């Protein structure tokens, strides 16, 4: 797994074979390259959820508010699960390190937007029209997320040797 090195800030491979199988699966969901699939999958169901929550008219405020609520729940749900389900100290440590890395570098948030936008684009291509508000959100996620990741890589990536996925 890519892991922030303590001294160098470089990414290194870490073996999680000591984790129980179920914990390893949960930890891998947010690890490159699996995190890309997870976020694309979440993005691909987002337009459907937005359509159901905001009806067919899709007022812009409803789509944006619902999308922000989805992003909030994506932060809240793992925190609740970590508190309610007993996980090993190693799994808890991995998540703690990832949260610190995410707080230190905005790239994680931009990556989420970009890959969710990619999933939304896939949904739009296979299902047809997603509505103006959701389409605008999709474009924002792709362009804003893509530019944010590129700017971050240009600013920090080479120096830190961080692999963005």
Question: How does pLDDT run across 12-48, given as a tens digit for each residue?
Answer: 445 677 888 888 888 888 777 888 898 999 999 999 8
State residue 130's pLDDT score. 80
Share in percent of the chain as helix, strand, coil (round to 5) = 75, 5, 25
Higher pLDDT residue, 66 or 15?
66
pTM of the predicted model as reported, rounded to 2 decimal places: 0.74
Please compute the mean of the pLDDT values over residues 43-61 and round it to a whole number: 83
State residue 158's pLDDT score. 59
State residue 6's pLDDT score. 38
State residue 141's pLDDT score. 93
State residue 160's pLDDT score. 55
Residue among 46, 64, 159, 153 at smallest CA distance from 106? 153
Give how far Cα 52 sits from Cα of 16, 23, 134, Å.
39, 33, 12
- Measured N-to-C along each axis, helices 107-127 and 34-54 cross at an angle, to the nearest 10 degrees, of 60
Q: Would you state the structure tokens that stand for residue 34, as one six-digit string?
A: 């699996």
Please tell me whether the peptide bond between 33 and the residue prior to it is cis, using omega within 30 degrees of 0: yes
- The CA distance from 10 to 158, in Å, is 10
Please compute the mean of the pLDDT values over residues 129-134 and round it to a whole number: 82
State residue 14's pLDDT score. 56
Residue among 93, 150, 116, 146 at smallest CA distance from 47? 116
pLDDT more than 70, % of the chain: 79
pLDDT more than 90, % of the chain: 18
């Amino acid at each position: 797994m890519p892991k922030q090195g303590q001294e160098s800030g470089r990414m290194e491979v870490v073996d999680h074979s000591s984790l129980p199988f179920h914990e390893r699966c949960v930890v891998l969901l947010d690890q490159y390259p699996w995190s890309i699939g997870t976020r694309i999958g979440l993005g691909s169901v987002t337009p459907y959820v937005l359509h159901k929550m905001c009806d067919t008219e899709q007022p812009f405020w409803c789509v944006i508010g619902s999308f922000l609520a989805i992003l909030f729940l994506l932060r809240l749900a793992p925190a609740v699960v970590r508190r309610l389900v007993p996980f090993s100290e190693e799994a808890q440590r991995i998540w703690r390190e990832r949260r610190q890395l995410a707080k230190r570098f905005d790239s994680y948030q931009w990556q989420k937007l970009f890959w969710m936008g990619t999933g939304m684009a896939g949904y739009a291509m296979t299902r047809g029209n997603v509505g103006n508000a959701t389409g605008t959100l999709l474009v924002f996620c792709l362009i804003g997320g893509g530019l944010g990741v590129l700017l971050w890589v240009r600013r920090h990536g080479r120096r830190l040797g961080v692999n963005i996925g």
